[in-house]
Amino acid sequence: MESMKTIEVDGNELGSSVDPLPFARRYQIEALEKAIQENTIVYLETGSGKTLIAIMLLRYYAHLLRKPSPFIAVFLVPQVVLVPQQAKALKTHTDLKVGMYWGDMGVDFWDAATWRNEQVKNEVFVMTPAILLNGLRHSFFKLNRIKVLVFDECHHASGKHPYACIMKEFYHGQLHSKKSNLPRIFGMTASPIKTKGTTLTHTCGKNLTELENLMNSKIYTSVSEDVLAEYVPFSTPKLTYYKDMDIPSTLFLSLSEKLVILKNKYERSLERLNIMESTKESAKKKISKLFSAFLFCLNDLGIWLALQAAEFSVCDDMDICCWGRLDLSSEEIIKNFNKDASKLISTYMSSVQEHLVGDNLEADAESGFLTTKVICLIRSLLEYRHLKDLRCIVFVERVITAIVLQKLLSKLLPKLSGWEAGYIAGNASQLQSQSRRVQNALVDEFRNGTVNVIVSTSILEEGLDVQSCNLVIRFDPAATVCSFIQSRGRARMQNSDFLLMVRSGDDKTLSRLRTYLDSGKVMREESLRNASLPCAPLKSSLDEEEFYWVESTGAIVTLSSSIGLLYFYCSRLPSDGYFKPAPRCCINQLMETCTIYLPKSCPIQTVFVQGNTKTLKQLACLETCKQLHKSGALTDNLVPQIVEEEAVVAEDENMPYDDEHATYYPPELVNPSLEHSDQKYHCYLIKLDQKYEYEVPPEDIVLAVRSELEYDVGNINFDLQVDRGTMTVSMSYIGVIHLNVKMVLLCRKFQTTLLRVLIDRTIDKVKDAFDRCEGNNHMLDYLMLPTTKSREMPPIIDWKCLGSVFFSHENASNHMDCFLPRMHTRSGYVCACTLENSIVYTPHNSHLYCITGILGELNGNSFLSLENGGLVTYKEYYRLRHGIELKFDQEKLLKGKRIFVVQNYLQRCRQQKEKEKKSSNTTVELPPELCVIFMSPISISIIYSFSFIPSIMHRIESLLLAANLKKMHLDHCKLNDIPTSKVLEAITTKHCQEEFHLESLETLGDSFLKYATSQQLFKTFQNHHEGLLSIKKDRIISNAALSKLGCDRKLPGFIRDGSFDPKKWIIAGDQSRSHAFDEEYLSNTRKIYISERRKLKSKRIADVVEALIGAFLSTGGERAALTFMKWLGINVDFVKIPYERDFPVILKRHVNVSYLESLLNYSFRDPSLLVEALTHGSYMLPEIPRCYQRLEFLGDAVLDYLVTIHLYHKYPGMSPGLLTDLRSASVNNDCYARSAVKAKLHQHILHSSQQLYKHIVDTVDSFDKLHLETTFGWESESTFPKVLGDVMESLAGAILVDSDYNKEVVFRSMRPLLEPLITPETMKLHPARELTELCQKKHYTIKRDINSQNGRKASVTIEVEANGVKYKHTSTSDKRTAIRMASNEVLKSLKETNWPGR
């Protein structure tokens, strides 16, 4: 095949010659050549490979699209199901980067930046046309940046279809202005005309010309079907007739009359309901549609299928939510109508007849159970029983037909032919809500043969590509030529059939079908006849209608798009379950005026226009959009401001986070090298005060460091949790000591050796540690020095003990001035006093012991009591157990004690293992000749005291880290000092398992951060609605934002996030382990060291940021907290900004001001704030310009903060987690709602929602039955309306604003309403949490099963298995209440059975 020539298009030479795909057909290559030369619509039959032509065209343009090129190609498809199908084809045959886009991805809420990122990333965009149209209108896409624009199924381009709007609003406008950089247009269709067959011959030429002019493209088609027949299998059309016979008329009349009576009965029931008129009308329409569906099935399909329709409507598959939001009582009426209709229809056939339907088709027709049309379908299908792999699509007109026919076929076909059937239908009729996932799964089953027959509406006419489909049946005739051609084209297999079912004697339908059959030839001939005629210029629709254009971006809104944009804007305003914000349009036909009333959260309340009544609403909406843009509510891309804000938040949350962080080590304890002159050390006495009785008393220890420590680090007191009780550690500064190099090395060797012995409890690694103490690379430089028992101050360093590390046999042998006997050891013949205070090693069992004395009454021949009660001499024991013969059996035995176990004594509620406890208390009798003296002299008290050193030093290291963090902050904010211990608390997570952790401070800091941010945003953005304020707040205080700020300030390195492990602790001077300290600069002048790297979750960093804010707040006050926040990068303040208000309202008409002021114990300077605080969004009176949402936003934050700070100060000694629990129990909507009902505030709320009114009435009735003093609402079987809690918050916000942000005034006013405040004694956990914690504690098995019903109700089953007994309860309500009630009941049963009386 010859390669194609290089062609210049739009002034761009399209590179070197491009070979078409090797398997391309001749007509495909011709079409490609045509498409490269000019805009082209390829009109070829289904299955002829039109997509491949588009792919080859994109390959030809590929070098202009490859990144970093700014250009893209767009491939438009009319249905979502086609997006992945076409994208897959593009990825298979090109190397271009392909992106897929459809509505469910949330693209409606993407902003310009998000689309820019997509255009940087992808080269071909496969999408539905509405996305591109909106993108062009909002100027997210520029037509001059699109090189190729493909329209799949381009026959849709007419009227207001997005295809037509794209061309009319944008393409033709730029074409008219002589712009040359327009995209290449490429359309694809199997039928360029959608008209009905009766007018085809007369209007074909006109319709084709209109399509060509609109698309500015010429149609390419084959000369005849014969050209395609070589490659494309054409199905054989066959007409099949069924008798003109309905169900018996008497039967139909009887049943239809009874259905009418039933319908009227339930419509009257709806009239009696106290619900909103709109809800009532919606429910009536629902009943009417169901009634019509039942009658249609009865008449067209038969009684059995009508019964299936009624039963389907009763079951949960029929989603009532498809019909819009209905009141629960109206939903119940609709369900009852369905049930009664089902019962009524079932009375016309017995259960036996129902079961046997289909066994005798003639009898079924005579009885009216099935119509002759349905029987014709069954018989037609059975004629193909001989086919091994049947793939059949039955096309029907109505959704209900597809549903019930599938039920019949699924009943009959498996036993008659072994075939399986399914159905696919859209949800435009709102009779079902089949998900796209279910539809795609069914198509896959059809492809692989699991399903043989699909009954489908027109949804499958376009795009389904199943090569093995060998039969298509039109149960209902096609409405248009296009529908006919496309449904025929679904049969892709060779020798496939296209069955057309026609009622006998229906000449009109028959004539139309024959026209359809000839349509291909007519359209092809007309297309070829017009091939040489140029496209006529078409005016842009913008020339014919008004529009508003944003110069800075090019975004545009037209008369026709203004209504959609306005409703979209309103849909993004804050709403709740009782009010959906929408514009209200009032037209005065006589005066030719229109007034748009906007929701109260909108910065503009009313827009008034005058004009032509035909376009008056559009004109008013266009003017409203214009004013919204000028007010800032719509951005320069003409999208709601909240869309851009949400996109920024999403981008922040999706920012890549590196979870690997440094762990810092305090520089005060690190010295880069060992100096060769005398060295100065600052000494701190560590006193150990034992709060329990133990035979071994501790000795004081001296900590010597190279630099003087901060006062609140060097003078600390804390407790160690020893298994016998509490050991109090007190630290104080005692002066300076000068040591020469030899002294320093001696001290290092001593502490390294002793601590290595204590931690490892083996001698194997100690020698290596001893030998390597003289290294000098970035080592830890502090000394732990034993003291003598003298009471002198300053204490005397026990140099004799320090020398024990250099024990030698020679020195012990030369010991002449002692009267104690000498003993044989493995270290030689030594004096007993050398052994009495020593650490020995016994090679036969590799154990280390402290020797505390000589057992004068025992020797090797003494008897040893065995565990089994037997007696044996020590000499025999060692011979039998270890194979050792004692040579000096007359020598006295030594009293030994196993080396102490070094543990984490900082751990909260530490429990020592029984084995460890036993080994630490056990004394042993040792023959001296088995012992190697390792260290001597060293008392057991010193050894005991040094076993606490790892925990003590870990706490000191942690405090020094906290001090370094504080100093880093003080470098910038010199006066913002707080205690180091508070900083330590804030950087300590509960994973450390110590006596304190950050949770209380985090809770406090979180509430203050939320309040400080909220009040700043409230004052700064006075025209922003609550939704925008909340988004802006989240951008500041979200975990992602706080984590980033923390990382920018290098906070992760300071965080303590794990329990202390003494075995991993680094011993100062020990270089036997490879451990390098890297330097890092916190600032230009402040250095710190990195000891290791670890993984840290971003939320942990955010928690620490909040806790640090809480630390500064709790000790330094709000100013200190704000200063710290500013250092972090959170710039908020409490500067007063006037609150501008235009609230011209006569207060007494709406609220009882004096009563409410009396209730709140507060007199408003501006009482209109009170009106605003009580106005719900549904209250649409124009004289009240605002609802309570903004004040609720502010009040939520201030109440949260006030209650949290109150609890923090009232219960200062509470455990860290208790404050969080108290806050959660006190600061929630149910608590506030309960207080509102108790104060009867619900009587003063201004709203226009019948549903809210009903919910409040029900809540008050339920509330009156509860015991006010003994419950926090957990026993209530219904939820409190959120509005009640919102009003409590909005009142708090109103008082805060009116009092010039005086928080004390707010608390003084609101506290009586909130009483009784929850206390640690009265706090009750949420039943779900209490049950979960109980199951975790008792190791019970818990299972939760949540089944949603209609999107709002949920059936929740909770089952707990405890001690072999199952406790189970099911509750049905809204999901939150159902979980609470089910948990509560299971808890009650558990307590009554296992802990009666509790």
Whether the CB-CB separation of 698 and 692 falls below 8 Å is answered with no
- Please tell me the predicted confidence (pLDDT) of residue 21: 75
Predicted local distance difference test score (pLDDT) of residue 1002:
95
If you average pLDDT over residues 329-340, what whole number do you get? Answer: 83
Per-residue pLDDT of 183-227, as tens digits, reads 999 999 988 887 765 566 667 888 889 999 999 999 998 866 666
Closest CA to 1194 of 1016, 1023, 1032, 1315: 1016
Instruction: Please tell me the predicted confidence (pLDDT) of residue 1348.
Output: 63
| Encoded tokens for 631 | 């007010």
Q: Identify the band that residue 8 occupies on the pLDDT scale cut at 50, 70 and 90.
A: very low
Between 1173 and 389, the higher pLDDT residue: 1173
Residue 1368: CA atoms inside 13 Å, Cβ hemisphere, count? 8
pLDDT at 295 over 80: yes
- pLDDT band at 1105, cuts 50/70/90? very high
Helix (H), strand (E) at residue 1217? helix 1216-1226
Q: What is the pLDDT of residues 1285-1319, one digit of tens each?
A: 999 999 999 999 999 999 999 999 999 999 888 88
Label residues 1056-1067 b or e (16+ Cβ within 10 Å = b).
bbeebebeebbb
pLDDT band at 909 (very low <50, low <70, confident <90, very high): low
Residue-wise pLDDT tens digits, 830-869? 888 889 899 999 999 889 999 999 998 999 999 998 888 8
- Grade residue 482 by pLDDT with cuts at 50, 70 and 90: confident
Query: What is the predicted pLDDT for the residue at 7?
Result: 39
CB 27 within 8 A of CB 33: no
CB contact at 8 A, 344 and 258? yes
What average pLDDT score do residues 538-549 get? 80
Tell me the range of 843-857, 919-933, 1321-1335 where mean pLDDT is highest: 843-857
Name the phi and psi angles at 229, rounded to 5. Answer: -55, -30
- The mean pLDDT of 482-504, rounded to a whole number, is 87
CA dihedral 456, 461, 462, 467 (to 10 degrees): 90
Express each pLDDT in 682-740 by its tens digit. 999 999 999 988 989 999 999 999 999 999 999 999 999 998 899 999 999 999 999 99
> With bands split at pLDDT 50, 70 and 90, how would you rate the model's confidence at 444?
confident
Q: How far is CA 499 from the centre of its chain?
A: 50
Residue 1145 has pLDDT above 50, yes or no: yes
Contact 97, 123 (CB under 8 A): yes
- The structure tokens listed for 213 are 């002019």
**Main-chain phi, psi angles of 797, to 5 degrees:** -70, 135
Residue with tokens 């500067």: 1135
Return the pLDDT at 888. Answer: 93
Residues 6+ apart with CB under 8 A from 799: none
Residues 6+ apart with CB under 8 A from 1379: 1328, 1344, 1346, 1356, 1358, 1371
Q: What is the pLDDT of residue 12?
A: 43
Average of pLDDT values for 1265-1285?
Answer: 64
Strands 782-786 and 779-780: unpaired
Answer whether 858's CB lies under 8 Å from 864's CB.
no
Average pLDDT score over the chain = 86
Q: In what order do the strands lie in the sheet with 701-705?
A: 717-722, 725-739, 679-690, 701-705, 782-786
Sign of the dihedral through C-alpha 918, 919, 922, 924: positive
End-to-end Cα distance, the chain: 90
Cα–Cα dist 1091/1079, whole Å: 9
pLDDT band at 324 (very low <50, low <70, confident <90, very high): very low
Provide the 3-class DSSP secondary structure of residue 1067.
coil
Helix (H, G, I), strand (E, B) or coil at 236: strand
In this structure, what are the phi and psi dihedrals at residue 770, rounded to the nearest 5 degrees? -65, -45
864 Cβ partners below 8 Å, 6+ apart? 871, 872, 873, 874, 877, 925
Instruction: Assess whether pLDDT exceeds 70 at residue 504.
Output: yes
Quick check: 1279 and 1256 in contact, CB under 8 A? no
Q: What is the percent of the chain with per-residue pLDDT over 90, rounded to a whole number? A: 50
CA distances from 900 to 459, 760, 825 (A): 79, 11, 23
pLDDT of residue 532: 81
Return d(Cα 1136, Cα 1130) in angstroms, integer: 18
pLDDT digits (tens, 9 = 90+) for 1003-1057: 999 999 999 999 999 999 999 999 999 999 999 999 999 999 999 999 999 999 9
Q: What is the mean pLDDT of residues 355-369?
A: 87
Cis geometry, peptide bond prior to residue 477 (ω within 30 degrees of 0): no
The residue type found at 132 is L
Higher pLDDT pick, 249 / 1301: 1301
**How many percent of the chain have pLDDT more than 70?**
90
pLDDT category of residue 1126 using cuts at 50, 70 and 90: very high
The number of beta carbons lying within 10 Å of the beta carbon of residue 1262 is: 17
Phi, psi of 167 (to 5 degrees): -70, -45
| Residue 1000 · residue 1220 · CB < 8 Å | yes
Q: How many CB atoms are closer than 10 A to CB 158?
A: 14
Mean pLDDT over residues 1171-1200, rounded? 91
**Chain centre distance of CA 24:** 47
**What band does 142 get if pLDDT is binned at 50, 70 and 90?**
very high
Say what the alpha-carbon torsion angle 818, 819, 824, 827 is, to the nearest 10 degrees. Answer: -10
- Any alpha helices (H) in 383-532, and if so which ranges? 399-416, 436-448, 481-488, 507-529
Between 1369 and 433, the more confident residue is 1369
Cis peptide upstream of residue 1320 (ω within 30 degrees of 0) = no
pLDDT at position 571: 92
Instruction: Please tell me what DSSP assigns to residue 22.
Output: T
